[in-house]
Amino acid sequence: MSSCSSFSILKMTLPQIHTILVKKVYMATATKTKTASKKTTSKKKAPQKNLVIVESPAKAKTIEKYLGRNYKVVASVGHIRDLKKSTMSIDFDNNYEPQYINIRGKGPLINDLKKEAKKAKKVYLASDPDREGEAISWHLAHILDLDENDDNRVVFNEITKDAVKNAFVEPRRINMDLVDAQQARRVLDRIVGYSISPILWKKVKKGLSAGRVQSVALKLIIDRENEIKAFKPEEYWTIDGAFKKGTRKFQASFYGLDGKKLKLHNNDDVKEVLARIKSDDFNVDKVEKKERRRNAPLPYTTSSLQQDAANKINFRTRKTMMVAQQLYEGINLGPAGHQGLITYMRTDSTRISPVAQNDAANFIADRFGEKYSKHGSRTKNASGAQDAHEAIRPSSVFHTPESIAKYLDKDQLKLYTLIWNRFVASQMTAAVFDTMKVNISQNGVIFVANGSQIKFDGYLAVYNDSDKNKMLPEMDEGDIVKKVNTQPEQHFTQPPARYSEATLIKTLEENGVGRPSTYAPTLETIQKRYYVRLAAKRFEPTELGEIVNGLIVEFFPDIVDVKFTAEMEGKLDEVELGKEQWQKVIDAFYKPFQKELEKAETEIEKIQIKDEPAGFDCDLCGHPMVIKLGRYGKFYACSNFPDCHNTKAITKEIGVTCPTCGQGQVIERKTKRNRLFYGCDRYPECEFTSWDLPVGRSCPKSGDFLVEKKIRGGGKQVVCSNEECDYQEAKIK
């Protein structure tokens, strides 16, 4: 303060000095407030983000990238609520109300989801586009206290930028009809499983289970086995002939005598036919030339993909679905980033979106030519198909297998190529064949020859499922052709083949049993329970499976009735369409089922599965060893159990000394997934293993052991186990 100011203050009265001081304090406070306000406004509050919840962590990053910085994407990692495992968890006195609990171990995840939801601008539920996905969204809405009537459910059939962004343009409410259909299936399966399984535990052995679809699958396998056992082969003969017109040879097969078709039952019938052939000259009686069209196959559904993957690339059902899930959730394509490569893989529809059809038409016209392109695909869904979303197809037809091969592992590439080829073929024109059928005869003995040649390859340009061309030489009625030789062959009718995974799925689908999502877990369950085993990739029932099936057939006939199960699937579909109340469907099933349960409880007698003598003694205590039936099949165990815990695996020697140690015997072994391989019985002292059957001889070129290997087209061949050695022997039929 200056001297002048000090002098002025001395002249002021006390009230004047007080007024000046108050003003100064007010001005100082106002300045501080303004400064603080400026600092506050300079620190902008972070804007709220929209929260998106998906099922799989693999999808979260990709979708977050597509949606941008205003969205945060997290994963629920599947279901977060379910029925208790320890009890039935169904309130029968309260209209079959399910009693849900949070899944054990998901507490921290649920807490994190609640925190994220609380600070989010809006919460979107983006679980998978099926019944299970809808139920997951409903459970999330319950736990996060979201309004079920809010438009917060987004659904996309493929994980591509356009599909994801379009889904967020028009979110919808949770579809309670879909949720109720899932609840009905869950409650129905729980009632069947948790009612019959305890009876099996008490009457047969612990660890057994029963289920709606798995019981039908088991019965189909056992019925087929009974057909095979009851089958009586019948003898029949064929006569194939080699003929030539000029210098060109062709094949023809015996048809009949004197204008009528004739079956050859035995060698006497063959001798009678051959006795009538007096010379090598045969007359051409009839020549039919036609043009035949073959339409492209429809794009894949879940079951047709599982069947083709088994038949064409040797994938088990479980593996097919696992790899398909990876392709759907997305693969890192280098500079192009993480992208979903196929549409949703659980579908029973063959429908294709107009956008995908148009892209395919342009791609086909550009690569193969306009005449190969077919605008609009045929759609012929199976009866009872839900048609909830499209067929399985590539997300972009322009992602050709060869263009993205370096980003995929070998299994992903195999399955993606299968899907891509099938889809592109389905959008291509029909293949056209020139066919020719010729009847030739001598003295009333008729042979028929068939030939065909591709005139226009059409869809076969990308999906060749046709036999090789087999054209006949040009012939006209009245021509003479020469017989080169005739080859009679004896045959016997064969029993129906055991079911493979592919043929069992096809049969279940044709009968309307189960749905796309149920096939893989069903086949896995009946193997885990040791009701069936795979032998040469075919299902073979076990003794345990036959016991369980016998009890269910006798006391719960509806459970294993194909027609009844298919009708129940239809009722669940009615619930999904909003045409039926799920509680009424359950009630109509449960009342008669309850009576069957009561009868089974009182009438089923305890079944003793007796131990078989093994024929040798325990090497630890000297007591006899027995063959027991365990959860994973039969095994050797000491009869002195529980005093002695000695057990041994049941092995099968192949009569070959181990090529590595020269002391042990090579035996058959199986992996945890039931795949057969060969190893030394001295393991772990000797670690010799081989996927192929050792034959007990050494390679004359390299000295390594020889193995019998399956080859394409059928048959086997002895080759060197050393892949760098090219030694091989003649093909074995």
Q: How far apart are CA 522 and CA 515, in angstroms?
A: 10
* Pure H helices in 605-672: none
Q: How far is CA 672 from the centre of its chain?
A: 19
Strand order from edge to edge, sheet including 123-125: 71-75, 50-54, 123-125
Q: How far apart are CA 310 and CA 304, in angstroms?
A: 10
The secondary element (H helix, E strand) that includes residue 219 is helix 212-230
Q: Which residue has the tokens 């045959």?
A: 491
Query: Where do the DSSP E strands lie in 190-257?
Result: 235-245, 248-257
Q: Catalytic pick from 71, 124, 255, 344?
A: 344
Q: How far apart are CA 434 and CA 294, in angstroms?
A: 11
Query: Three-state SS across 308-334?
Result: HHHHHCCCCHHHHHHHHHHHHHCEECH
Q: CA distances (Å), 148 to each of 76, 152, 386, 460, in order?
A: 18, 8, 24, 50
Q: How far apart are CA 247 and CA 251, in angstroms?
A: 13
Instruction: Specify whether the backbone of 369 is left (phi greater than 0), alpha (psi in -120 to 50) or beta.
Output: left
8 A C-beta contact, residue 137 and residue 125: yes
The string of DSSP letters for 247-287 reads: TEEEEEEEEEETTEE--B-SHHHHHHHHHT--SSEEEEEEE
Q: How far apart are CA 197 and CA 214, in angstroms?
A: 13
What is residue 79's DSSP assignment? -
Q: How far apart are CA 310 and CA 320, in angstroms?
A: 8
Task: Residue 50: count other Cβ atoms within 10 Å of its Cβ.
Answer: 17
Q: How far apart are CA 144 and CA 141, in angstroms?
A: 5
Q: Strands 71-75 and 50-54, how do they pair? A: parallel
**Which amino acid makes up residue 446?**
I
At residue 225, what are phi and psi to the nearest 5 degrees?
Answer: -65, -40
Q: How far apart are CA 693 and CA 345, in angstroms?
A: 37
User: What is the four-CA torsion angle of 624, 625, 628, 632, rounded to 10 degrees?
Assistant: 170
Q: CA distances (Å), 168 to each of 139, 151, 161, 474, in order?
A: 20, 10, 11, 64
Q: How far apart are CA 236 and CA 491, in angstroms?
A: 5
Q: How far apart are CA 90 and CA 189, in angstroms?
A: 11
Q: How far apart are CA 42 and CA 620, in angstroms?
A: 82
**Which amino acid makes up residue 683?**
Y
Q: How far apart are CA 484 and CA 179, in angstroms?
A: 70
Q: How far apart are CA 659 and CA 677, in angstroms?
A: 15
User: What is the four-CA torsion angle of 595, 598, 601, 603, rounded to 10 degrees?
Assistant: -70
**Which amino acid makes up residue 521?**
P
Cα distance from N-terminal residue to C-terminal residue, the chain: 117
The two most distant CA atoms of the chain are separated, in Å, by: 156
At residue 407, what are phi and psi to the nearest 5 degrees?
Answer: -95, -5
Q: Is 391 helix (H, G, I), strand (E, B) or coil?
A: coil
Is 459 considered catalytic here? no
Q: How far apart are CA 228 and CA 225, in angstroms?
A: 5
The residues that are catalytic are 344
